[in-house]
């Protein structure tokens, strides 16, 4: 009986040692990757990697920055990030966080970022501005309001057409949804590229109808952002060949996005 207990203890100890060894291997791997990424970012920032010195910035007409709401409170990091983008030649940027923290910091950001102006809040679709540096501030509440207003517009329009034609079996198409969003002033330009800062590898509720052709890249935590990593991300996007296929109609918006 004692021998059996001792064998069990040895087995448990062996499993613990294997777990510690595997944990050490994985931790070492990510540590090496982190060092390599930091070194590469430094070399890019210093201009030693020449292929990153010439960006086809015209491929990025409209860029979106998606930030986890908890990290969006770090206004200085956001301002520095925008200054980097402006220095690279980006002219139109959309700032998004789900809870609207960035919208609350709008005035501070506009004062600190040189030549920055905000998109005009009109009922017309947002127009890309090639002069100066324009910023758009949106949150999850804007998406909810847009869906509600567009749905109301579509239902009123369908009711009017039903009364005129007597046909009650009309279905909403993607083009009708797009036109409805434009009609209520919530269309907005589709970003060419979205950079996500935060632990989550998703768009965090960015309006779905504005990312139909959009590339999404996860950049890691905002607090550890690097200029070289930003340059590399934009470079990789400009080098990608994009093949546009047919769009699937947006028939339903998940309850998690509109509740």
Instruction: Render the burial of 27-43: b for 16+ CB within 10 Å, e for the rest.
Output: eeeeeeeeeebeebbee
CA distances to 1, 98, 182, 255 from 208, in Å? 64, 13, 14, 13
- Distance from C-alpha of 117 to C-alpha of 109, rounded to nearest angstrom: 10
- Strand locations in the chain (E): 63-67, 92-96, 116-118, 133-138, 193-197, 215-220
User: How many other C-beta atoms can be found within 10 angstroms of the C-beta atom of residue 188?
Assistant: 20
User: How many other C-beta atoms can be found within 10 angstroms of the C-beta atom of residue 143?
Assistant: 22
| Closest CA relative to residue 225, chosen from 81, 40, 47, 29 | 81
How many Cα atoms are found within 13 Å in the side-chain-facing hemisphere of 251?
Answer: 3
Specify the pTM: 0.73
157 burial type by CB count under 10 A (0-12 exposed, 13-18 middle, 19+ buried): middle
pLDDT tens for the chain, 259 residues long, are 677 777 788 888 888 999 999 999 999 998 898 898 889 998 998 888 888 988 889 889 899 999 999 999 999 999 999 999 999 999 999 999 999 999 999 999 999 998 889 876 544 444 544 567 999 998 887 766 666 666 666 666 655 655 455 555 566 666 666 666 666 556 678 899 999 999 888 888 898 878 878 999 999 999 999 999 999 999 999 887 665 543 333 333 333 333 3
Residue 48: which residues within 8 A CB-CB, separation 6 or more? Answer: none
């Amino acid at each position: 009986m004692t021998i059996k207990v001792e064998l069990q203890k040895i087995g448990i100890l062996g499993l613990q040692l294997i777990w510690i060894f595997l944990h050490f291997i994985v931790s070492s791997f990510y540590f090496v990757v982190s060092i390599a990424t930091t070194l590469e970012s430094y070399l890019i920032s210093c201009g030693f990697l020449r292929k990153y010195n010439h960006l086809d910035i015209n491929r990025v007409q409209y860029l979106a920055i998606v930030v986890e709401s908890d990290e969006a409170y770090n206004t200085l990091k956001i301002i520095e990030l925008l200054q980097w983008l402006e220095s690279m030649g980006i002219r139109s940027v959309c700032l998004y966080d789900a809870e609207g923290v960035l919208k609350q910091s709008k005035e501070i950001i506009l004062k600190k970022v040189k030549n920055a102006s905000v998109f005009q809040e009109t009922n017309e679709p947002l127009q890309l501005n090639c002069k100066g540096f324009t910023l758009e501030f949106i949150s999850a509440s804007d998406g909810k309001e847009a869906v509600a207003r567009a749905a109301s517009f579509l239902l009123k329009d369908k009711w009017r057409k039903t009364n005129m034609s007597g046909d009650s079996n009309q279905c909403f198409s993607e083009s009708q949804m797009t036109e409805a969003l434009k009609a209520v002033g919530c269309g907005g330009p589709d970003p060419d590229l979205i950079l996500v800062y935060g632990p989550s590898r998703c768009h965090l509720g960015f309006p779905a109808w504005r990312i139909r052709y959009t590339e999404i890249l996860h950049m890691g935590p905002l607090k550890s952002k690097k200029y070289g990593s930003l340059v590399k991300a934009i470079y990789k996007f400009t080098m990608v060949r994009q093949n546009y296929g047919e769009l699937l109609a947006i028939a339903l918006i998940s309850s998690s996005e509109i509740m």
